[in-house]
Structure 1
Amino acid sequence: MTKVIAISFWAALTLILAFIALPLLVVVAASVSPTSAVTFRPWEWTLVWYGGLFEERWVQPFLLSVQIAVIVAAISGALGTLAAFALVHERIPGSSVIMAALLSPLSVPQIVKGVAIVLFLSIIGLQNMLGMPALITAHIVLALPFVMRMAAGALANFDENLDRAAQILGASRRQRMLYVVLPLIKPGVLSGVTFAFIISFNNIPLSVFLVRPGDTTLPIAVINHLEYSLDPVMAAVNVASMIFVLIVILAFEKLGGFSAQLHGGSK
């Protein structure tokens, strides 16, 4: 019976991984198509389409997406960590209600949030904020719950006796925060920051309402290009984006991110 369960588990896991990976493999195959039409010929391939990555129509949106994602990750990381610290570590009154309010953006579809932000800016006469300011603000609202949830999970596993020991030994509040609390919750914080970066970099539903001409992010540039043509250059752009996101994940993991958080500890 145990053997049957084990076989069923691995079979289901293999099917799930195949379901996730096969579409990505199709994109990779399309990016090395030997012709300008998207074809799949494993025995015949070329990397010439990756030269199109350095065209202005792709470089500028990529740099803008990275810039927005870095700002969003930094701000949402700081705000989310502070909010989690106040609600979980300090246990301020009404923390459960505040936590629910801060996590509420997760329950609202992104398209609804995009329309709501555009209407709100129009009503209060701040249409000029559309573009970078609105994109950054909207992405922070979207990413903040993820950062706060990750940081709160790390704080829930934090041994408060270590903080008390540091206090007994004469450490100030600032020193305890910098040298005791933050190093121990770093995996959770970096996990949340990584999620914030990826969510912002890949966002479409919010960005499509808030971009301005000349301030187009990479996902929106891909969507706009897809409306008129499907070619290997676009597939190459998507493959490059996946590789870039993977490098970002590995970089944060190197700093002490995901695996430590999964095990409930720190590196």
Structure 2
Amino acid sequence: MSHVLTFLFWLAIVLVLTFITLPLLVVVAASFSPTSAVTFVPWEWTFDWYGDLLADRWLQPFLLSVKIATLVAIISGVLGVLAAYAIVYERVPGSDALMAGLLSPLSVPQIVKGVAIVLFLSIIGLQGFLGTPALIAAHVVLALPFVTRMAATSLANFDGNLDRAAQSLGASKRQRLQHIVLPMIKPGVLSGVTLAFIISFNNIPLSVFLVRPGDTTLPITVINYLEYSLDPVMAAVNVASMAFILTVIFLFEKIGGFSAQLHGGSK
């Protein structure tokens, strides 16, 4: 019986992975199509479509998305660590309510948040805020719960004996935070920052309400392009975006141990 269950378990994993990866493989193959119509002829594949990615049509939205995602990752990282520090480490009064408030954006659909932000800016007369400033602020609201939760989890799993030992040896609070607490929770913080970057870079439901002409992110540019055309350039853009995100994840893993948070430990 156990062998049958093991077989069914691995069969389910293979089927799920196949379901996930096959569409990606189709997109990758389509990006090498020799003609403007998407075809699958391996012996005629070409890299020519990737050369179009350097055109301003794609390069400018990509650079804007990277800039916004970087700022969102930094801002949400700082705010998330400070919030987690106050809630878990200092245990300020009302910490449970504060955590609930910080996590509350997760309960609201992104489309609803996008409409609400647009209406709010219109009511208070800040329509000019739409574009990059509004995108950064909205993406921070979207990403902050993830960063806060991951940083709070790392702090909750932190061995308090290390902090108390440093205190007994005369270390100040600043020294304990700088040399003990922050290095120990670094995997959780960096995993949250990485997730914030990815959420911001790939966001569509929230961004679609906040972009303005000449100030459009890459995902929105892709959606607008799909309204009129479907060709290998579109596949090349998606493959390049996927490769970029994988590179970001790899770099953060090398810097601070992204996967350590997944195993509940620190690197």
- Which band: TM-score by shorter chain? over 0.9
* Equivalent residue, structure 2, for 1:76: 76
* Equivalent residue, structure 2, for 1:26: 26
* Equivalent residue, structure 2, for 1:40: 40
1:246 aligns with 2:259: no
Following TM superposition, by how much is the alpha carbon of 1:182 offset from its aligned partner in structure 2, in angstroms? 0.4
* Equivalent residue, structure 1, for 2:108: 108
| Corresponding letter in the other structure for 2:207 | S
- CA deviations 1:226-252 (Å, max 9, x no partner) are 111001011101000000000000000
* Superposition RMSD in Å: 0.9
* Equivalent residue, structure 1, for 2:199: 199
Alignment partners' CA distance in 2, 1:57 and 1:257: 35
| Corresponding letter in the other structure for 2:92 | I
Query: What SS does the corresponding residue of 2:42 show, helix, strand or coil?
Result: coil
Query: What SS does the corresponding residue of 1:43 show, helix, strand or coil?
Result: helix
What's the TM-score, normalizing by structure 2? 0.98
Contact preservation (8 Å) 1:256, 1:266? no
* Equivalent residue, structure 2, for 1:185: 185
* Equivalent residue, structure 2, for 1:218: 218
- CA deviations 1:76-126 (Å, max 9, x no partner) are 001011101111111112111111111011111100000000000000111
In structure 1, runs of 5+ residues without a counterpart are none
Contact preservation (8 Å) 1:184, 1:266? yes
Q: Percent identity?
A: 78
Following TM superposition, by how much is the alpha carbon of 1:40 offset from its aligned partner in structure 2, in angstroms? 1.9
Alignment partners' CA distance in 1, 2:116 and 2:169: 51
Following TM superposition, by how much is the alpha carbon of 1:258 offset from its aligned partner in structure 2, in angstroms? 2.4
Alignment partners' CA distance in 2, 1:98 and 1:204: 28
1:47-126 equivalences under 5 Å are 47-126=47-126
Following TM superposition, by how much is the alpha carbon of 1:153 offset from its aligned partner in structure 2, in angstroms? 1.1
Following TM superposition, by how much is the alpha carbon of 1:256 offset from its aligned partner in structure 2, in angstroms? 2.0
Contact preservation (8 Å) 1:69, 1:200? yes
- CA deviations 1:5-43 (Å, max 9, x no partner) are 111111001111111111111110110011111122233
Following TM superposition, by how much is the alpha carbon of 1:61 offset from its aligned partner in structure 2, in angstroms? 0.3
More deviation, 86-95/194-203:
86-95
Alignment partners' CA distance in 2, 1:223 and 1:215: 15
* Equivalent residue, structure 2, for 1:3: 3
Alignment partners' CA distance in 1, 2:37 and 2:163: 62
- CA deviations 1:121-143 (Å, max 9, x no partner) are 00011111001110000000000
* Equivalent residue, structure 2, for 1:136: 136
* Equivalent residue, structure 2, for 1:150: 150
Contact preservation (8 Å) 1:184, 1:265? no
- CA deviations 1:127-162 (Å, max 9, x no partner) are 110011100000000000010111111111100111
Alignment partners' CA distance in 2, 1:98 and 1:40: 54
More deviation, 61-70/158-167:
158-167
Alignment partners' CA distance in 2, 1:84 and 1:26: 42
More deviation, 144-153/256-265:
256-265
| Corresponding letter in the other structure for 2:149 | R
Alignment partners' CA distance in 2, 1:263 and 1:195: 16
Contact preservation (8 Å) 1:76, 1:144? yes
Alignment partners' CA distance in 1, 2:62 and 2:41: 29
Alignment partners' CA distance in 1, 2:19 and 2:93: 46
Residue correspondences, number = 267
Alignment partners' CA distance in 1, 2:225 and 2:162: 54
Alignment partners' CA distance in 2, 1:78 and 1:133: 18
| Corresponding letter in the other structure for 1:23 | P
